[in-house]
Amino acid sequence: MSLEIIHEMFPDERPTLEKVLERTKDTMKAYIISLTNDHDSTVATRRLLISIKSFGSNIEPFIFDAVTPKNMSIVHERFFGKSTIKKVEYTYPLEGQTRYDMRTGLELSGYPTKDINKRISCFLSHYTLWKNCIQANEPIMILEQDAIFTKTFDYSLVKHRFTGDIMGLNNPMMATRRAKVYDKGLSDHWKQRYPDVKTNQPTRRIPPVYDVFEAPWVDNNRMVPQGIAGNSAYIIKPEGAEKLIALTAENGIWPNDAIMCKQLMPGKLQHLYPYVTKVQGGRSTTSE
């Protein structure tokens, strides 16, 4: 059999650079913040990885070693330096405290936190990945270890609708306060735009239908920070990462979902619907 006939019967499938780039152009890099040497964290991370694979999501996951109180000072100094360390510190109220913030015009209330260093470490984990997003100059997905996928995700289906800087992925239940209000805001938008489309879980034979909406308000008091439904699953663009780093320089270290709020990032926070992730549940490594 001649080489010409062989080539006709078996087209060249060698992984050329062009073919690889075409096949992976919409693959989303996902960074999973996970505690090393922690059994519960390892189990939760494994569940998350299995869910990505089982739904066939177009995601390339990477494990990111979480910043902890033990190495927090090293990471803090690397980003903010010795000379400015007092200027970029935790400025949010502690548990049980409230205050009116003159700079932002927001009413701030402390989060339940037994060890404030865990709250700061959590922030620094996200902050590190915001810096990575800027350096990579492309959108990335940030996942905490307690997230889990419940549907297939393919960035190519939503990237043209994602016009903001940050897009939440989580079902709000167990992920944020006033979750039912948040859910109703998104589902109402969906019903108005797609009155005849059900939001049932898609199968591999039926492509999922998603859309992106602005993150809804959950409080009538617009002085209370409000954002996406928890920060355990979201996609961020370099523009959003740059804005958050600038806000940190201006206001100091806040809890992630407080600095990432609609008031400080107007029109830039969006949410995917139907949801593709939810919180696994279990103990919180930040609040305990």
Give residue-wise pLDDT tens across range 232-258. Answer: 999 999 999 999 999 999 999 999 999
Confidence band (pLDDT; 50, 70, 90) for 272?
Answer: very high
pLDDT at position 207 is 52
- pLDDT band at residue 198 under the 50/70/90 scheme: low
Going from the C-alpha of 93 to that of each of 100, 206, 256, the distances in angstroms are 10, 48, 14
Report pLDDT digits (tens) over 132-153: 999 999 999 999 999 999 999 9
Confidence band, pLDDT 50/70/90 cuts, at residue 199: low
- Structure tokens belonging to residue 35: 């505690």
Higher-confidence position of 177 and 23:
177
> Per mean pLDDT, which range of 159-173, 204-218, 219-233 is the poorest?
204-218
Query: 33-58: per-residue pLDDT in tens?
Result: 999 889 999 999 999 999 999 999 99
Q: What is the pTM of this model?
A: 0.87
pLDDT exceeds 70 at position 84: no
Q: What is the pLDDT of residue 129?
A: 97
Helix or strand run (H / E) with residue 214: strand 211-214
Helix-helix angle 116-136:72-80, to 10 degrees: 50
Provide mean pLDDT across the span 68-95.
Answer: 81
The residue among 129, 171, 176, 168 whose CA lies nearest residue 34 is 129
Phi, psi of 7 (to 5 degrees): -65, -35
Backbone dihedral angles phi then psi of residue 174, each to the nearest 5 degrees:
70, 5
pLDDT for 87 equals: 57
Domain map of the chain by residue range?
Answer: 28-279
